[in-house]
């Protein structure tokens, strides 16, 4: 039987990607703290998380997406998210509870309250589908966006996209697609489009939101062209 060195065993463990290894590390790091010290650490953690939320809001990342399948979009200060956004409240359950129970939760990869991820409007509009919360009513392009409204790269445009309504990822209307211009030279190619209101290329908008076709709006000069 081949005997591996300790270094080889550690490398194999890292390669295996044991999902509990980080949790076990977190658990061991908290074992040296007394119960009072652990609760003080929780208070400090809550303060750090509040600072993260303030920074996100300053950067206009003010939306939270809840749910994995049916994405529901909330504003960060929605009353339905209070238990997540109010980090003092979120940590209070652990601070008044058993410190050892918290350590055991860490050992199983579930230490502390979940921190919500705040995103900007472009990230919301890039979702293939979502519904907005009726309580906070965030200002985005749709209250209910179906999978029929798609995000498409300019390089993927073809004749079937002519006549469809385009929007930037932040929801700004770009008009109806009228013309696709593909420029090819010896070394590369590029794509630009002309809509009913503007012209732009893939450096300005690498991808856009593609809405449904609007009947009766396609002009006779709307076929794709290559230059």
Read off the pLDDT band of 93 (50, 70, 90): confident
Instruction: Examine the fold and report which residue of 132, 157, 174 is the final residue of a domain before the chain moves on.
Output: 132
pLDDT at 223: 39
Give pTM, 2 decimals.
0.52
The verdict on 116 and 152 lying in the same domain is: no
* Pick from 9, 4, 134, 115: nearest CA to 64: 115
Cα separation of 111 and 90, whole Å?
A: 12
pLDDT at 215 over 90: no
Domain that holds residue 116: 19-132
pLDDT at 178: 92
Is position 7 within any domain?
no
Is position 222 within any domain?
yes
The verdict on 158 and 117 lying in the same domain is: no
Burial classification of residue 17, based on how many CB atoms lie within 10 Å of its CB (0-12 exposed, 13-18 middle, 19 or more buried): exposed
């Amino acid at each position: 039987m081949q005997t591996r060195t300790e270094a080889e065993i550690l490398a194999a463990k890292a390669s295996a990607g044991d999902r509990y290894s980080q949790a076990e590390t977190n658990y061991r790091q908290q074992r040296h703290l007394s119960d009072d010290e652990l609760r003080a650490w929780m208070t400090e953690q809550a303060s750090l998380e509040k600072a993260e939320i303030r920074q996100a809001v300053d950067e206009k990342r003010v939306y939270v997406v809840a749910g994995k399948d049916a994405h529901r979009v909330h504003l960060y200060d929605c009353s339905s998210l209070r238990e997540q956004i109010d980090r003092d409240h979120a940590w209070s359950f652990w601070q008044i509870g058993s410190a050892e129970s918290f350590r055991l939760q860490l050992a199983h990869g579930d230490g502390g309250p979940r921190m919500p991820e705040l995103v900007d409007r472009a990230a919301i509009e890039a979702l293939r589908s979502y519904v907005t919360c009726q309580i906070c009513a965030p200002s985005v392009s749709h209250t209910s966006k179906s999978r029929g409204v798609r995000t498409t790269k300019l390089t993927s445009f073809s004749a079937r996209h002519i006549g469809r309504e385009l929007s930037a990822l932040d929801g700004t209307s770009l008009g109806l697609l009228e013309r696709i211009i593909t420029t090819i030279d010896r070394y590369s190619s590029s794509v630009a489009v002309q809509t009913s209101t503007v012209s732009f290329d893939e450096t300005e908008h690498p991808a856009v939101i593609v809405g449904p076709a609007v009947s009766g709006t396609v002009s006779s000069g709307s076929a794709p062209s290559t230059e």
